[in-house]
Amino acid sequence: MSQSDDTLAGAGRITRRGFVGAAAAAIGARAGLYELVDRLAPAAARPQVFSLAPEQHLLDLRTVISDGVEVLEPPRHSDVVTATLRPGLDLRRAQERLETVLQRLDASYQPTPAGLGIVLAWGLPYFEQRVPAQARTHLPYDRRAHASALLPGRRFPSDPLETVLERNELAVLLRSDRLDHIETARSAIFELPFFTVTSIRCGFAGGGFQGGPGLPKQMALAAGLAGAHAIPDGAELFLGFTSTQKSALGPGRIANHETLGYVDLRSGYFRNGAHMHLSHIEENLEAWYANFDYAERVVTAFRPGLPGIRPGTQTIAETPAELGTPPRLEQEFRRSGRFGHSASIQAASRLTQDVVGPDGTRYATGTAIPQRADFNTLDNPFAWSTHARRDRLAAEPAPGVHFRRLQPLERRLPPQSPRHGRRLP
């Protein structure tokens, strides 16, 4: 390994052995891994927020221009901690103590990347095991499927055999430009005596929109990942393309259960909430850059037949016009035998008609519904796990992505015409 791969200017000297040794230190791994993020790239200026929205999942992000496209600049750090609850718990007392901690954190940090974003997602095992009667009364109901909007994890034909379906009762997403803010929140929440932590997942994104190599490349080089040198300077993620184009992310409250009318909120207990998906995906940087030239990477990540893409472009527009309609994508597939990742998913997860939400917000045809917050990681596959053997936990840094998505329900989008969200004439 060359010295340029082993050491980074401004980061202090960090050897491959030191990097891997830190990764083996469980929660302390972040001292040797993810604190580098704060040393490698300066935090961007962030807007101030003077009031809290009722939604935990909304985080005010700065809009920047990349390759002529509006982009929402993500927080530099993202952590997810999963947990179960201890048996014999007084749920009412636990709720009060948790709310006190969350209120204290809300009072200490603004809901921006300069402060702290906190999202609590309760899993199906919690509702089934802890509050089954209340769940039957209050859980959101999918009007189209005539079933609960909250689905159990399941395997798909394309899943690798080693795919693990977890049964966590809780997942907490923490996002900030500052690692110390995340550490403070993680300690405050999970030092409560009724949680048993099952995994810790850490990661990063961005850092290059103001120039420079960006965090994914610098972190990959510091970890000595094969293929790291091929990551383009300034890339938001390991694979070299921007993921947070404003037009490709659901705006505002569109992912809320109540906004589009796809879900019956029944008692209204889950108003201002959303459905959250969480997964980890391994990436092979060496194969991605060695086997695919730039044009092939565009076809794979977006779609075949995209006109006018300048070689090296990282941020590719994902408006409905650039994505193409489903019939157009089908026609291109029949012609080339290829379809891209983003276009096929985006075309199936956008509004097929104009809708007015219950708060009067207008969402135009073609508006994206899901709100994604994927971030790169060196976890292998997690920073720490209580199921180390099952999860094949390893100390060696490995490229991957922790993928998080919010939407009104987990079934295929968009469903039939909404009932409560009003169509525009």
Distance, CA of 155 to chain centre? 20
How far apart (Å, rounded) are the C-alpha atoms in residues 5 and 2?
5
Task: Give, to the nearest 10 degrees, the angle between helix 179-190 and helix 91-108.
Answer: 160
How far apart (Å, rounded) are the C-alpha atoms in residues 220 and 218?
5
Query: Does position 265 have pLDDT exceeding 60, yes or no?
Result: yes
382 assigned to some structural domain: yes
pLDDT at 5: 28
How far apart (Å, rounded) are the C-alpha atoms in residues 165 and 168?
10
157 assigned to some structural domain: yes
Q: Give residue 306's pLDDT band: very low, low, confident or very high (50, 70, 90).
A: confident
Round the average pLDDT of the chain to a whole number and report it: 87
> What residue ranges in 166-286 does DSSP mark as E strands?
170-176, 195-204, 263-264, 275-282
Query: Does position 10 have pLDDT exceeding 90, yes or no?
Result: no
Angle at 281 between CA 56 and CA 341, to 5 degrees: 90
Residue 144 one-letter amino acid: R
Query: What's the whole-number mean pLDDT along residues 224-232?
Result: 98
Q: Give residue 22's pLDDT band: very low, low, confident or very high (50, 70, 90).
A: very low
309 assigned to some structural domain: no
Strands 362-363 and 69-72: unpaired
How far apart (Å, rounded) are the C-alpha atoms in residues 310 and 299?
13
Query: What's the whole-number mean pLDDT along residues 376-396?
Result: 96
Residue in the block written with tokens 């929660």 = 27
Angle at 335 between CA 331 and CA 336, to 5 degrees: 115
Which is nearest to 121 in space by CA: 424, 410, 383, 420? Answer: 410
104 assigned to some structural domain: yes
User: Residue 144 to residues 157, 192, 410, 418: CA-CA distances in angstroms?
Assistant: 24, 39, 12, 9
How far apart (Å, rounded) are the C-alpha atoms in residues 73 and 373?
11
Q: Give residue 416's pLDDT band: very low, low, confident or very high (50, 70, 90).
A: very low
Q: Is 403 exposed, middle or buried (0-12, 13-18, 19+ CB in 10 A)?
A: middle
421 assigned to some structural domain: no
203 assigned to some structural domain: yes
pLDDT for 91-133, tens place per residue? 999 999 999 999 999 999 999 999 999 999 999 999 999 999 9
328 assigned to some structural domain: no
Between 323 and 3, name the one with better pLDDT.
Answer: 323
How far apart (Å, rounded) are the C-alpha atoms in residues 408 and 256?
5
201 assigned to some structural domain: yes
CB 369 within 8 A of CB 387: no
pLDDT for 167-224, tens place per residue? 999 999 999 999 999 999 999 999 999 999 999 999 999 999 989 999 999 999 999 9
Three-state DSSP class for residue 222: helix
| Domain around 202 | 3-290+372-414
Three-state DSSP class for residue 407: strand
Q: Give residue 8's pLDDT band: very low, low, confident or very high (50, 70, 90).
A: very low
Tell me which of 254-258, 400-404, 410-414 is least confident.
410-414
Which is nearest to 11 in space by CA: 215, 238, 236? Answer: 215
Three-state DSSP class for residue 275: strand
Region class of 408: left (phi > 0), else alpha (psi between -120 and 50), else beta: alpha
**Count of structural domains, the chain:** 1
Between 36 and 358, name the one with better pLDDT.
Answer: 358
Task: Give the contacts of 204 (CB within 8 A, at least 6 positions apart).
Answer: 34, 37, 76, 77, 78, 215, 216, 219, 375, 376, 377
Query: Does position 333 have pLDDT exceeding 50, yes or no?
Result: yes
